[in-house]
Amino acid sequence: MIAKYILFGLLTILIVEARKPKGCISIKSVTKPIQHAEGPHWDSHKQLLYYVDTFKADALKWDPKTNEVTMFHIDDRNSIGIIVPIKGDPKGFVAGADRIVYQIKWDGKENNTAKYEEILMVDESKPNNQFNDGKADAKGRLWIGTLTRNPDQSVKDNGGELFVITDKKLLKDNQQVNYTSISNGLAWSKNNKHFYYIDSAKRNVVIYEFDLEKGVLGESRVLFDLAKYPDIPTSGIPDGMTIDSDDNIWVAIYGGGCILHVHGQTGELLLKLDLPVTYVTSLAFGGPNLDILYATTSRMRLTEAQIPSQPLAGTVLAITNLGVKGLPANEFEADEWKKQSC
């Protein structure tokens, strides 16, 4: 692959000669920088992008029609991993902050106007644990993982788990994957027969057989292993992930300054897309046609001297002309929650 950058202010054009796509891929920032943008979720109904500033415990909404960003802060929390809309509730969300699952009521119009209620806590015996990445499956169950955060922001090995949380039972102990280090990216195939999962510390992507009706995982194998690609720095780890309508996955490489497009069955690397930032955190397809790939990024590990050379770090990047489309993001099913009031 041959790549060239053309930089015009906040717009970077990457010309890529690769098997797919062919032509000019456009990369531009659409938000102002924050410390550590994560957890993007495109709301196809409202045409809005939700994301979080992890270590500020802030949830944000970006409206592409107005280019406005609004936010709310969750008090007395050190982190937030995700915010996901509740199906059928235009103001309802589920969020994971520290070890607590919250029900949120927010119209998104003004800052810090959200009302929130604690629903449950996981990992009660692990006070240093926090939620990381999470998404809803096609049945509306919330899959969300934890990790153990050390005081220096490093992560303890094997301290986390991948939970499944439902509306009716609010299952605290339904762990699907145990002893994870950095529970991270997840995605489901279009037919919901496969589940893709990243434990970042292992630097690979695992594919599982998936039973949608029961919400359980089956046999697994390593689909993609970063160790086989020495051109990607060892400092780079797989972070967030999404899937396109061709059932191929897109993986953010945190510390590696790139996104990888990987075949969803063979694990073949289809494309390595370099970005003008080192720390890419997660990905979500959005836009009216689901053909814009939104990438959240971080500037948290950059020094003051490094930030001027990476002015887009911490912004949300919109990547177009990839030649593929995504799938609509699932929402959390919470009929019982909708009867409650925050």
Torsion of CA 329, 81, 229, 320, to 10 degrees: 40
Q: Residue 239 annotated as binding?
A: yes
Q: Could you tell me where the DSSP H helices lie in the chain?
A: 335-338
C-alpha distances out from residue 206 to 105, 109, 194, 224, 304, Å: 35, 39, 10, 7, 36
* 65: phi then psi, degrees, rounded to nearest 5: -75, -35
Q: What is the full DSSP assignment across 140-154?
A: SPEEEEEEEE-TTS-
Q: Residue 43 annotated as binding?
A: no
Helix (H) or strand (E) holding 41: strand 37-43
Pairing of strands 258-262, 269-274: antiparallel
- Give the Cβ contact number of residue 245 at 10 Å: 14
Q: Residue 184 annotated as binding?
A: yes
Q: Residue 38 annotated as binding?
A: yes
Q: Cα-atom radius of gyration of the chain, to the nearest Å?
A: 19
C-alpha distances out from residue 262 to 228, 248, 291, 325, 328, Å: 13, 6, 17, 14, 19
Instruction: Point out the residues that are catalytic.
Output: 239
CA dist 55 and 187 (Å) reads: 24
Token duo for residue 308: 């001027």
Pairing of strands 216-225, 48-53: unpaired
Torsion of CA 122, 34, 236, 217, to 10 degrees: 30
- Give the Cβ contact number of residue 115 at 10 Å: 12
Binding residue positions for a divalent metal cation? 38, 184, 239
Binding residue positions for substrate? 132
Binding residue positions? 38, 132, 184, 239
